[in-house]
Amino acid sequence: MKWEESEHPRREDGQFRRKGIADWSRLVSERLGTPGGHVDRVEGRDLLGELADADWEALAEVTPSLYAVASGQAGPEGDRALGQIWGRQGFDGSPRVVDEATLQQAIDSGWMSLWRAVNEVDLGLSTYQTAEQVAEHLRTGVVRPGLGGAGNGTYFAPDRAKDNMRHYGEAILHAALSPDARTIGLSEIQDLMAADGITHELLYGDEAQWTPRERVLADAGRYAAARGYDAILHWWSARDKEQPHEIIVLNRTALMIAEAADG
């Protein structure tokens, strides 16, 4: 077996980064027959204590403004600052792409079933990606950090929404989130943000007065990714706890995605 350094990321102190895979998840993976007997979910860490002033300034330079996000002018690259945070965490790695039967076995074993619909994307200069190309890009291409009102990231819907997916896009992705994933509710991440100085008053104040750190952390997706969370769970109603209405995925390595269906 050949050693591939890129498959064994190191921390800055030279130690190997912990995978953080629970025994239960590893047994599920072995039953599914996945290579290596485990799911290669990269475990995030809390970056807030690691980043220096120069790091915050560099990230702030590529952070889209609230106006750009709200007006749809952030550009086809999406949230570049979030992309860089994903890169620091190792969250920009590839998901595990499997056939639908294997995906369903994982879901039956406790993985969270997820659905996403995508459409054609205008890349500018009369260049387009078809819906099928966008879907395949999410499976195997370079990750693109998306934008969203509840926090930036890659939005998925729960299993109960699968019958309505065709209303939202031409190409449908069926995925599953690892039971080992580190998740947090949107209201909980907002509480953490407020305790860290990213308050309601700040967010509705003068954006021009924000510090670089505040600018980067003013989005729930960026904040959660910087704290090492794999996904944000968003419930629209406090009374409905059966399934979240939206799942904002921040760590693509925590996903298993079905390969494109024939035809």
Q: What percent of the chain has pLDDT over 90?
A: 57
pTM exceeding the 0.85 threshold for the entire prediction:
no
- Please check whether residue 2 lies inside any domain of the structure: no
Question: Of the given ranges (99-103, 119-123, 135-139), which has the lowest mean pLDDT?
Answer: 119-123
Which pLDDT score, from 0 to 100, does residue 23 have? Answer: 38
Which pLDDT score, from 0 to 100, does residue 19 have? Answer: 35
Per-residue pLDDT band for 238 (boundaries 50, 70, 90) equals low
Average pLDDT of the residues in 44-59: 96
Q: Summarize the chain as % helix, strand, coil (round to 5).
A: 40, 15, 45
Which is it for strands 231-234 and 183-185: parallel, antiparallel or unpaired? parallel
Q: Which two tokens stand for residue 129?
A: 């990606």
Which range is most confident: 123-132, 141-150, 159-168, 173-182? 173-182
Mean residue pLDDT of the chain comes to 82
Average pLDDT of the residues in 121-150: 84
- Please check whether residue 230 lies inside any domain of the structure: yes
Average pLDDT of the residues in 170-199: 96
Reply yes or no on whether the pLDDT at 68 is more than 90: no
- Please check whether residue 8 lies inside any domain of the structure: no
Reply yes or no on whether the pLDDT at 263 is more than 50: no
Q: How many domains does the chain have?
A: 1
- Please check whether residue 188 lies inside any domain of the structure: yes
Q: How far is residue 73 CA from its own chain's centroid?
A: 21
Residue-range definition of the domain harbouring residue 52: 18-258
- Please check whether residue 167 lies inside any domain of the structure: yes
Contacts of 98 by beta carbon, 8 Å cutoff, 6+ apart: 32, 34, 106, 256, 257, 258, 259
Reply yes or no on whether the pLDDT at 123 is more than 70: no
Size (the chain), residues: 263
Q: Which two tokens stand for residue 228?
A: 């090492």
Reply yes or no on whether the pLDDT at 22 is more than 50: no
As a whole number of angstroms, the distance between CA 211 and CA 57 comes to 9
Question: Of the given ranges (5-9, 175-179, 194-198), which has the lowest mean pLDDT?
Answer: 5-9
- Please check whether residue 1 lies inside any domain of the structure: no
Which pLDDT score, from 0 to 100, does residue 73 have? Answer: 65
Which pLDDT score, from 0 to 100, does residue 168 have? Answer: 87
- Please check whether residue 7 lies inside any domain of the structure: no
Which pLDDT score, from 0 to 100, does residue 192 have? Answer: 97
- Is residue 248 within 8 A of residue 200, CB to CB? The reply is no
Contacts of 215 by beta carbon, 8 Å cutoff, 6+ apart: 60, 63, 207
- Please check whether residue 62 lies inside any domain of the structure: yes
Number of Cβ atoms within 10 Å of the Cβ of 34: 18
Average pLDDT of the residues in 233-240: 76
